[in-house]
A = this chain, B = another copy of it.
Amino acid sequence: MNHRTVFFVSDQTGVTSETLGHSLLTQFDGLKFRGVTVPFINTPDKAKECVRRINLTAEVEGSKPIVFATMVQDDLREIIEESQGLVLDFFGAFIGPMERELGRVSSHATGKAHGVADQRSYTRRIDAMNYALEHDDGSTTRDYSKADIILVGVSRSGKTPTCLYMALRYGVYAANYPLTEEEFEQGKLPPALARYQDRLFGLTITSRRLQQIRQERRPESRYASARQVSFELRSAEALFARYGIPYFDTTESSVEEIASTVLDRTGLLNRLQEGGG
């Protein structure tokens, strides 16, 4: 089957236009798309060059490319709209109703969406990332008093990517602590963790999926064996129950979904919103 080419055109990084486009494209199962991101289209010359690329694709493939555009400047947007693609222009569609409701004309200024305009929140994200790196995989239990959240779970249940994502995206101070033989034998958490019981959140995963992940990393090891994996997961869930730690099964979820779920269930999302804005 032929694919349809999709352009993500932006006067900036293209992140917004990709996010919008991908979430719409997932609604069309069974069709094949080829994505082309064209960032930093910030002059009329670059916009015209982009239109030539779109038109060439239309001619070669014999079908209209889909063009997701996030152009702030009217003159650039108008150039893109003259292309032979189906142009879905996100600013064009929404900025008008917003201007009417807010009683203001928008600034039409490029480059604010992902800039460092909000320096305070940006610094917090970088600091949070450093915190997550320093507190990854139980490497230190110092400074847990600064943690917004401490993820616990067995090795390869999704703790590290989730912590880094929560830090980089939301500025959340997220530590994580791996549950191992030591905790399972004793049937309890170390004092450094137990003290912050209200900040703990557990991650679990099905034994089938965990075995698969571990097998890829250390084939044929005890670590990846069905028996070891089942034992660890059962023991971890017993600890969650004992300490009343809320937990979530990450098997079917992406990092973005795990992070949102954790923030939602712990109420951190609301607290972040009250503090920030």
Contacts and interface: CB of A to CB of B under 8 A. Distances in A.
A90 B28 contact: no
A256 B151 CA distance: 26
A90 B165 CA distance: 25
A108 to B, nearest CB: 7
A82 interface: no
Contact of A26 (B3, B13, B117): B117
Nearest to A116: B254
A98 B33 CA distance: 13
Contact of A37 (B86, B91, B165, B273): B273
A224 B145 CA distance: 27
A203 to B, nearest CB: 14
Interface string A155-193: 000001100110010000000000000000000000000
A133 interface: yes
A24 B160 contact: no
A37 to B, nearest CB: 6
A29 B15 CA distance: 21
A71 B174 CA distance: 30
B129 A13 contact: no
Interface in A110-162: 112-117, 122, 125-126, 129, 133, 136, 160-161
Interface stretch (A99-107, A194-202, A226-234, A238-246): A99-107
A51 interface: no
A247 to B, nearest CB: 17
B31 A102 contact: yes
A69 to B, nearest CB: 11
Nearest to A25: B98
A255 B94 CA distance: 27
22 contacts: A3-B277, A12-B260, A13-B257, A15-B256, A16-B19, A19-B19, A23-B90, A26-B112, A27-B106, A28-B107, A29-B107, A30-B104, A35-B273, A39-B260, A66-B98, A66-B101, A86-B98, A88-B98, A90-B90, A114-B257, A133-B160, A165-B168
The 4 A-B residue pairs with the shortest CB-CB distance in the complex, in nearest-first order:
A13-B260, A23-B113, A27-B106, A26-B112
